[in-house]
Structure 1
Amino acid sequence: MKLKFAGLAFAAVALTAACTTTVTGSAGQVPGQTPVKKPVDPCALLTPEQTASLNLETQGKLTAGKPEQLLPPNCAWSPGDPDARTNPLYASWTEELSLDDYVLGALPGEKFELGGLTWTRYGSILGKSHCDLMVRLGGKSFVQLSSYDSQDEDKACDLSKRAAPLVASHLEGGDQSPTLPTPSRPPVPSGPLVSVQPCSLLTAEQATSLTLNSTPITLGTTTDIKRPPGCEWDDADGDGGVKALDVYVGAARPVKEWPLLEEAGEPFEAGGKKWELYPDGKVCSATLSVTETSSVMITSGNLDDPAKSCDLVKTVIPMLSAKLPS
């Protein structure tokens, strides 16, 4: 029987090779076989044009799913323009896992009608600064969009909500003609801090009196969104003791956007200006809001005694206040 089957198979191949007639139509499913289902690709949920409108890179990074671990395939798009202050976007898409099993009993929250589909926000284990929007497509099919905003949790869903209509255009029942959002642009430095040079805020004599190096080092650039223009005066008291003093002038940075600071600091007034202190162990920072879109941040500390971490900062603030515009 094996030889007979092999002979038939060979004859079929030879006949196919010799045939010159094109047969139209589609191949039917072999009886008794399950149709082969092409895996869904979450990176196909956005076109390059759509990602560009969201200030994201045109190509997403795919991570394969693990259904046995309740992990659907995922695609991550990184920010395309760092100066636009855009966070990454993550999309998951599966046809092998039910939404109910995936959320593990989490209760649905706010609903949004976006792109002709109903999206539901579910609580994230990472907190309110993270947003998970999900749309159920079938018994074992759903799409999830995830975004976050570590600076303002009220904006955690903003990117996901902008992306949802675009993603819906690739899904059954979604609006096939979504309007592309207008890409956000980097903030433009403006206001009274535009002309302020950070390294001019302390004289050499003042730096020396504070046990700092009189020759400062320039930090950051006007195009570095993570570190606006700044200046550093290195400490001159050896490896321990006072930490170097850094001063940043953000002519296009609202005060709340400085990283790693609590929502409210300790008030500290000097020269008619209201600063806020943020002691954190051996490090101490202070911020000053100059306008709604501009601010100043300084940071130093004490490597030997955390109780003295804000001493230098408190001493420097009156000197800076005298040279900063109202």
Structure 2
Amino acid sequence: MTNPERDPQETVASTGDVTCGIEVLTPRDVPLGGPRAMRVRRTLPQRERSLIGARCFVDHYGPDRVADSGGMSVAPHPHTGLQTVSWLFEGEIVHRDSAGNHAMVRPGEVNLMTAGQGISHSEVSTEATTALHGVQLWVALPDASRHVAPGFAHHAPVPVSSEGWTGRVFLGSLLGETSPVSTYTPLLGAELHLDPGARLDLEVDETFELGFPVDSGVLQVDEREVKQDELAYVAPGRSTVTLSAGSEEVRVVVLGGPPFGEQIVMWWNFVGRTHEEVVAFREEWQDRVVGVTDGREVRAGRFGIVVDEPLPPIPAPALPNARLRSRG
């Protein structure tokens, strides 16, 4: 998914509330363009927290009625230096990218796209989709791997369950399950359902920092209440985190990984290391979109061309009147 803001921010204004050693991040509302736009709730990045493990971007959307919003129609747009993780609760999306991948995004099936040195892709909800509901996650690639060739992986995890809970592990290892999807830093990704009144003592890697974005219900993370659409952050150092549901069912996504340990520059759909690098990425994409006017031939370049996608590519927004800053 693209970052659709016409004036993308380097950081966002909200800050976390820390109680009982757990930080709760509240989202901001972002439209995906246009007056009937589908809207997302963005909990990462925040002014005080840019990353959870290698994750640098967490969007949560829906349930969104396609009849009202028009659904998802994200035209070809570029990415560098990251992986995108698509996880749906409801609906269906067609993914096409410039590496030649054409895939469906369906509930309970993870799609992971590696941008690496550069890729472009589109995401369009199917005609049969009446509602869209899910999360979109971005993962920053470490410096040693951020120029890899683009790639794509798909996995449908088998649900695991015990008394009061059901889970699907789509990245990393949890609940005795391990995903086969390969990543460039250790990552954790899972969907959990807790029945009303259920409690789960979740065994986790104590070197990981963790994020718990709540999709529905009210979740208790140890002693801390986390409401719908909020994200609970837990610092490294715990081998067990207790999750509890109140009087209603809870659906929560579990995210994790060791602290990233690198500074990144993230603007629009690009992850780089310097202001100059991101400016160069934007210039190369704009040459692809609008065509160059100095006699040079327009080439597909690092971002390629999304085959069989009728939507025209999205132009990049204007850069801010200041240097882009690193964070991490």
TM-score computed with the length of structure 2 as normaliser = 0.23
Query: Quick check: which one's helix share is greater?
Result: 1
Larger radius of gyration: 1
- Structure with the higher strand share, 1 or 2: 2
